[in-house]
Each structure stands twice: as structure tokens, then as C-alpha cells.
Amino acid sequence: GAVVSQHPSRVICKSGTSVKIECRSLDFQATTMFWYRQFPKQSLMLMATSNEGSKATYEQGVEKDKFLINHASLTLSTLTVTSAHPEDSSFYICSARDGAGALNEQFFGPGTRLTVL
């Protein structure tokens, strides 16, 4: 089955530093990748949609200069949280859409827990 990995699974950083999270589709080509943020006991909040080779499309209210997204290949997308602050602490989840699949299903990574001190 389709597998999506995320790295790191957990990261703790000091306020003001930048953190990069990688999302990889391991056995399929992901024409589209999505980045979500999830607060405890809440639903997934879509942050941005990225298509390989083009700029990401950010949802309203998401700062594109703070959450930098790069989708350089069909198997890798990165989210960089720049100048992180404690309010950025959250669970970040990526998903990848298999454009070649008949159902265009969306497969989720295991998530990255970011804690900003």
C-alpha cells in the first residue's frame, strides 16, 4: 500500500529558531501534497496545498512567510517553520495524493510533533 513518511517525528526547539519537516511518498509519485495542522482533540486544519514544481497555495490566515513549503520533487515536500514561537507548537501532518491512482486517494504521514520552548 501507499506509504508516506515524515521526519522528524518529534522536534523540540527554542523560540526563534527554524524547523524543517520532511514529507516523503515512498512508493508512489505524489503530484499534490497537503500540509495540515492539528490541535489536541481537534480536526485537521489544512494549511497549504503544494504541487510539484510550483508555489504552494496557502489557506486563508496561514502566513506563507512563516510556513515555507517546498515541493521540489514528486516524492518530497518540506515545511519549514521559520522563527518558531510557542504558539506554533502543534502536530503537523502531511498527506500525499497519488495522481496516478484511480481514486485519487490521500495518504497521510505519521505526523510531526513540534514543541517550541
Partner 1 sequence: QQQVKQSPQSLIVQKGGISIINCAYENTAFDYFPWYQQFPGKGPALLIAIRPDVSEKKEGRFTISFNKSAKQFSLHIMDSQPGDSATYFCAATLSNTGNQFYFGTGTSLTVIP
**Distance, CA of 117 to CA of 84 (rounded, Å):** 9
CA angle 88-95-18, nearest 5°?
A: 30
Q: Binding to partner 1 (CB under 8 A): which residues in 8-37?
A: 31-32, 34
Task: Return the residue of 7, 20, 49, 82 that touches partner 1, per CB under 8 A.
Answer: 49
Of 24, 69, 97, 114, the residue at the interface with partner 1 (CB under 8 A) is 97
Q: How distant, in Å, are the alpha carbons of 54, 86, 106 from that of 92?
A: 21, 14, 16
Q: Would the CA dihedral through 101, 106, 110, 116 be positive or negative?
A: positive
Does residue 111 interact with partner 1 by CB under 8 A? yes
Among 14, 41, 54, 86, binds partner 1 (CB under 8 A): 41
C-beta closer to partner 1: residue 22 or 82: 22
Q: Which of 71, 107, 114, 116 binds partner 1 (CB under 8 A)?
A: 107
